[in-house]
Amino acid sequence: MFTLFFKEIKEFFSSVTGYLVVIIFLLINSMFLWIFKGAFNIFDLEMANIDSLFIISPWVFLFLVPAITMNMFAGEYKSGTMELLLTRPLTEFQIVFAKYLASVVLVLVALAPTLLYLFSIYFLADPVGNVDFAAIFGSYIGLFFLAAIYSALGIFASSLTKNTIISFLLGLLFCYVFFLGFENLSYLISSGKLSNFIISLGINDHYRSMSRGVIDSRDVVYFLSVISIFIFVTKLRLESRKW
């Protein structure tokens, strides 16, 4: 399983596209946080925090994660190596989980350089070091769970088609629907309780509190549940190819 995991990591960085995806992600975040004037600019906010990163990242992740996952299964289908992969001494679950784990790690690799923002605000703070590290690291945990759930959705999307562009668009659609789709649907419901329930089915309701550094067990359970469901559904998708 770990051989397949490292293969996916290596393949991602063996092409210019892999580096380009990471660079674009960092460039967009940096432009909004440090260059573009407005509500997200750290200098304009005059506050020693990187809350803007945790507001912008879910939207950038909508494109970053599907770009990472789009080739995971679609590429195997297109090249005809999926059947060969299924003959290896690996279960369908191990194949799915190895590719899923590689996707999450690749997103974290893209996210890791943003820690430089943290060191920057450490020295920009007045006095120096006046930064709420606990809240910031709590927010990073929220981003980790967001990356994990988007990756599960993206992997499932990639298992549905051999066309990488369609895989990307499906991944983008699934991530958007789970991030804001339920919240938008709730506006059509007049019942307060039903509306709140529908909102709770979406990612944003659970990510919102985590992005403020508040880790609630109910939010963790939600993320783990959705991740497990889509890993399982992707496994079923692979098994269906044998029928």
Q: What is the pLDDT along the chain (243 residues), one digit of tens a residue?
A: 888 898 899 988 888 888 998 999 999 988 988 888 877 777 777 676 788 888 899 999 999 999 999 999 998 888 888 888 878 888 999 999 999 999 999 999 999 999 888 888 888 777 777 778 888 888 899 999 999 999 999 999 999 999 999 999 999 999 999 999 988 888 877 677 888 888 899 999 899 888 777 788 999 999 999 999 999 999 999 888 766
Query: What is the domain range of residue 140?
Result: 2-240
Domain count, the chain: 1
Size of the chain, expressed as the number of residues it contains:
243
3-state secondary structure of 72: coil
Quick one: pLDDT at residue 64? 94
Separation CA 207–CA 80 (nearest Å): 38
3-state secondary structure 139-204: HHHHHHHHHHHHHHHHHHHHCCCCCHHHHHHHHHHHHHHHHHHHHHHHCCCCCHHHHHHHHHCCHH
Separation CA 123–CA 130 (nearest Å): 9
CB 156 within 8 A of CB 233: yes
CB 68 within 8 A of CB 107: yes
Separation CA 97–CA 171 (nearest Å): 17
The reported pTM is 0.92
Distances (CA, A) of 67 to 25, 87, 96, 98, 203: 11, 27, 17, 17, 19
Quick one: pLDDT at residue 243? 60
Indicate the Cα dihedral angle 167, 169, 174, 177, nearest 10°: -170
Residue pointed to by tokens 């432009």? 31
CB 147 within 8 A of CB 171: no
